[in-house]
Amino acid sequence: MKKRLIRLSFTVVFAALLLSCGKKESAEQSGQDSVAAVPAPISQPLVSHIYTADPSAHVFNDRIYIYPSHDIEAGTPENDNGDHFDMRDYHILSMDSVGGAVTDHGVALDVKDIPWAGRQLWAPDAAYANNTYYLYFPVKDKEDIFRIGVATSKNPEGPFTAMPNPIANSYSIDPCVFQDTDGSFYMYFGGIWGGQLQRWNNNQYDANGKLRSAEETAVLPRIAKLSPDMKSFAETVKEVKLVDAQGNLFTESQNDKRFFEAAWMHKYNNKYYLSYSTGDTHLICYATGDSPYGPFTYQGIVLNPVEGWTNHHSIVEVKGKWYLFYHDVQLSGKTHLRNVKVTELQHQADGTIQAITPYN
Ligand code: FUB
């Protein structure tokens, strides 16, 4: 009886997760045995005392640092703009090795200490240069327009001090700062829907900018080289071309391949790998190119859908092995209360990435 109750509660929890995703058939509809429907995650949350998401991982001083969003129950009603992701500070996590003890370094930056910020601290990233650690973060300004800010610290775990203004000419969300092998730094950024990228054309803001219709070409992620001071763009923001094997841009209807948000860049065997979330189809996909600017040719899936609506990741090499940091909602079952995880990632002999399915 006790066993049956446990099975039932698993079924209820999983059915709730599926409903919250709004993307898969329910356990009842599938007609399958409820026990078989229980997903076994391939990895466990790295911390469970706080909710964390959007993990950008880096190795600094031989230690793994994770720069995640810090999810909270703010009580803000859910909508398609993502208002329920109403985060107010960042906590940085670190560990000696994958599988080792995880340290939460406490509050590294609070929205109330960012002079120009309004609300919603979303997915951050970090970089090291000039004997300084830089934390890059998207937050809505006081006009409710997403901009990208930068904060500095002498330590990778912070605390960080925010610059008085956002990075000039920055917009939208999800900065990823990539250091190329020649030492140059580039920022990839952008996200549609709540990330507001559809409002920006030729780097001009249009408050009425609409999402693209099905037959239109999809909105593209953006790139800009960073100046040596790491606090400004060294050039005009450019679009990053993401194309199919024939060199064609994706249309909005191809929403299992087109860019939505969460750009990440890594370099492997001299190739540039742009990975990103497809948002409403819940995949992490990747495309490869021969220059940090692209064009990038679609290759396939990195990570199949996780429990929860959002899918967001980073890919990093640690001591000769590659890892995928990602999140799901295993701890809460709620879209806006996520938990970060890590699993190994394999590049195959031909350079393709072996797709990861997060549940067995
Ligand atoms: O965490 C808030 C937003 O959800 C991120 O900026 C997106 O990438 C999505 O994960």
**How many whole angstroms from 224 Cα to the centroid of ligand 1?**
20
**Residue-wise pLDDT tens digits, 286-338:** 999 999 999 999 999 999 999 999 999 999 999 999 999 999 999 999 999 99
Q: How far apart are CA 293 and CA 273, in angstroms?
A: 11
**How many whole angstroms from 82 Cα to the centroid of ligand 1?**
8
Q: Look at residue 33 and tell me whether its pLDDT is greater than 70.
A: no
Confidence of residue 36 (pLDDT cuts 50, 70, 90): low
Catalytic residue among 86, 261, 307, 328: 261
**Residue 352 in domain:** no
pLDDT at 39: 78
Q: What is the mean pLDDT of the chain?
A: 92
Q: Look at residue 153 and tell me whether its pLDDT is greater than 90.
A: yes
Q: What residues are in contact with ligand 1 under a 6 Å CB criterion?
A: 53-54, 69, 85, 122-123, 173-174, 191, 261-262, 310, 312
**Residue 320 in domain:** yes
Cβ partners under 8 Å of residue 183, min gap 6: none
pLDDT at 318: 98
Q: Look at residue 23 and tell me whether its pLDDT is greater than 90.
A: no
Catalytic residue status for 261: yes
pLDDT at 326: 99
Q: Look at residue 25 and tell me whether its pLDDT is greater than 80.
A: no
Q: Judge residue 358's burial from the number of C-beta atoms within 10 Å of its C-beta, 0-12 exposed, 13-18 middle, 19 or more buried.
A: buried
Q: How far apart are CA 189 and CA 44, in angstroms?
A: 28
Q: How far apart are CA 299 and CA 213, in angstroms?
A: 24
User: Is 50 within 8 Å of 40 (Cβ atoms)?
Assistant: no
Q: Look at residue 17 and tell me whether its pLDDT is greater than 90.
A: no
Structural domains counted in the chain = 1
| Residues belonging to the chain | 360
**Residue 4 in domain:** no
CATH of residue 290's domain is 2.115.10.20
Per-residue tokens: 74: 């703010």
Is 204 or 17 the better-scoring residue by pLDDT? 204
**Residue 7 in domain:** no
Q: Which amino acid type is present at position 151?
A: A
Mean pLDDT of 66-89: 97
Catalytic residue status for 113: no
**Residue 162 in domain:** yes
**Residue 3 in domain:** no
**Residue 353 in domain:** no
Mean pLDDT of 63-90: 98
Mean pLDDT of 129-144: 98
**Residue 100 in domain:** yes
Cβ partners under 8 Å of residue 250, min gap 6: 217, 218, 242, 243, 244, 257, 258, 259, 298
- What residues make up the domain containing 336? 15-345
pLDDT at 38: 64
Place of tokens 């109403």: 86
Q: Look at residue 345 and tell me whether its pLDDT is greater than 50.
A: yes
Q: What percent of the chain has pLDDT over 90?
A: 89
